[in-house]
Amino acid sequence: MIQINENFTKLSESYLFTEIARRVKAYTSENPNADIIKMGIGDVTLPLPKACIEAMHKAVDEMAVKETFRGYGPEQGYEFLQEKIRDFDFATRGVTLSNDEIFISDGAKSDTGNITDILGSGNTIAVTDPVYPVYVDTNVMAGRQNIVYMPVTKENGFVPELPKEDVSVLYLCFPNNPTGTVLKKDELKVFVDYALKHKALILFDAAYEAFITEDNVPHSIYEIEGAKEVAIEFRSYSKTAGFTGTRCSYTVVPKECTGYDKNGKAFSLNHFWKRRQCTKFNGTPYIIQRAAEAIYTPEGSSQVMEIINYYLNNAKIIREGLTKKGFEVFGGVNSPYIWLKTPEKDSWKFFDYLLKEKNIVTTPGAGFGKSGEGYIRLTAFNTKEKTIEAMERI
C-alpha cells in the first residue's frame, strides 16, 4: 500500500487567492458590467524590456544552428550571467562574490521552497507575521512544525523583534511582501548578530530589492558585516524585469555560510546546495539566461529602470491618494506593495466593501497571517490610468 507524506495533511488549506477569485466571480456574475480594477495579485503588467526580447530572439537563433546549439547547461547557471550578477548586483555595493557562490535558478519561489532540502528536520524556524506563505508551507511539508512567528505591525514600526526562543533558521523578506516595508542597515544588523551568536541561518528574500529608493536600506544582506557566514540570499527577475512568466532568479550561498551536524561539526552550505541542485535541477534554459543577461547592458538596465519607476510612480499615486482620503498607509516607497490599515478590524469585510462599492480587487491582510488582520494589500502593478481611476473611485 502506498504511503503518503503525512505532513501534507498538516498544511492549512491555502484558500486566499482562491477565495478572492470566488468572491470576484460571484460579484461579476451578478454584475456583468462592473468595471473591475485589479490591485490584488502581485503579477506584473508591463511587457519584458526590449533588450531582453532581442537577446532571447538571438539565443533562439543560436539554438537552430549546429555550431551554437546548447544542450544541458551547467546546473548552477552559465558564467556569462553569474559574472554580471557578481559585478553589477554585488561588487557595486562592496560585496565580493565568486561565480560559484551564485546559483541561477527558475524562481525565488522554488529556491525559497527547495532550500529546506539541505536543512535538518530538528530546526526551529522563525518567520515574520504576516508572511509570504511559501516559507511556512514548505517547512510543514518537510515535517517541521516548530515555527515561531515574529509580528510585523504598525505597533512595532514593522520591524520584527528577535524571537524569544532559540531559533536556528530565520526567514526575512525585505522589502517585505505583503507590508511593503523595509529594514534599515542597523535593524538588519540585529538579525545578523543574532545569527552569528546562535550559529543560526538567515534566509534573506530580496525579491523586491530593485524597488529600493531610500539610502540606508540594504540591497543585500551581505552589506552587513559577518552576514556571509550566516545568510543565504534569494533574488528574482520576476518583479524587477517582468520575468514572472519567463522564469529566472538566483540564489547566493557564500562559501563561508555554515551549517552543523548534531555533533557540532561544520559543513559548507554552498557545497550542500550545489549537491542538491545538481541532483534535482537541470538549470535555467540558455535562452532565458541570455534574456536575463541583457538586463545588465546599458539599454537593458535603463529599460528596467523605466519599468520599476513606472510601478513606483503607481505606488506613489496609491500612497498619496489614500493618505489624502484619511487612510493610514505603509510601504510603497521602496516597494510595489501598499499596506493599508482598514477602518474596521475585519480585512475581508473591507475587501468586500472595495469590491462591491468601488469595484476594486485587493488582498485581505488576514490571508498572510494573524498579524495581517486589520490591513489590506494593494499592488502598484496595474496601469497608471487604472491606478488613478481606482484612487478617484475611493
Rule CB under 6 A: which residues touch ligand PLP? 42, 107-109, 112, 132, 173, 177, 205, 207, 236, 238, 244, 249
Give the Cα separation of 355 and 23 in Å (integer).
9
Q: Which is nearer to ligand PLP, 207 or 288 (CB)?
A: 207
Amino acid identity of 96?
Answer: T
Q: Which is nearer to ligand PLP, 246 or 359 (CB)?
A: 246
Give the Cα separation of 254 and 269 in Å (integer).
8
Q: Which is nearer to ligand PLP, 205 or 233 (CB)?
A: 205
Cβ atoms within 10 A of the Cβ of 272, count? Answer: 17
Q: Tell the smallest beta-carbon distance from residue 244 to ligand PLP (Å).
A: 6
Q: Which is nearer to ligand PLP, 106 or 373 (CB)?
A: 106
Rounded to 10 degrees, what is the CA torsion of 156, 160, 165, 170? Answer: 170
Name the residue number minimizing CB distance to ligand PLP: 107
Q: Where are the alpha helices (DSSP H) in 249-378?
A: 269-280, 286-293, 298-324, 347-358
Q: Which is nearer to ligand PLP, 173 or 360 (CB)?
A: 173
Amino acid identity of 385?
Answer: E
Grid cell for residue 154: 504598525
Q: Tell the smallest beta-carbon distance from residue 222 to ligand PLP (Å).
A: 18
Q: Tell the smallest beta-carbon distance from residue 317 to ligand PLP (Å).
A: 21
Residue with cell 547592458: 297
Q: Which is nearer to ligand PLP, 132 or 286 (CB)?
A: 132
Q: Residue 231: which H helix or E strand, with range?
A: strand 231-236
Q: Write down how long the chain is.
A: 394
Grid cell for residue 286: 540558455
Amino acid identity of 216?
Answer: N
Q: Which is nearer to ligand PLP, 177 or 314 (CB)?
A: 177
Q: Tell the smallest beta-carbon distance from residue 188 to ligand PLP (Å).
A: 16
Cis peptide before 178 (omega within 30 of 0): yes
Q: Coil, strand or helix: which one is 34? A: coil
Grid cell for residue 73: 547547461
Phi-psi region of 102 (alpha: psi -120 to 50; beta: other; left: phi over 0): beta
Grid cell for residue 143: 515535517
Q: Which is nearer to ligand PLP, 243 or 391 (CB)?
A: 243
Q: Tell the smallest beta-carbon distance from residue 106 to ligand PLP (Å).
A: 8
CA atoms within 13 A on the CB side of 75: 10
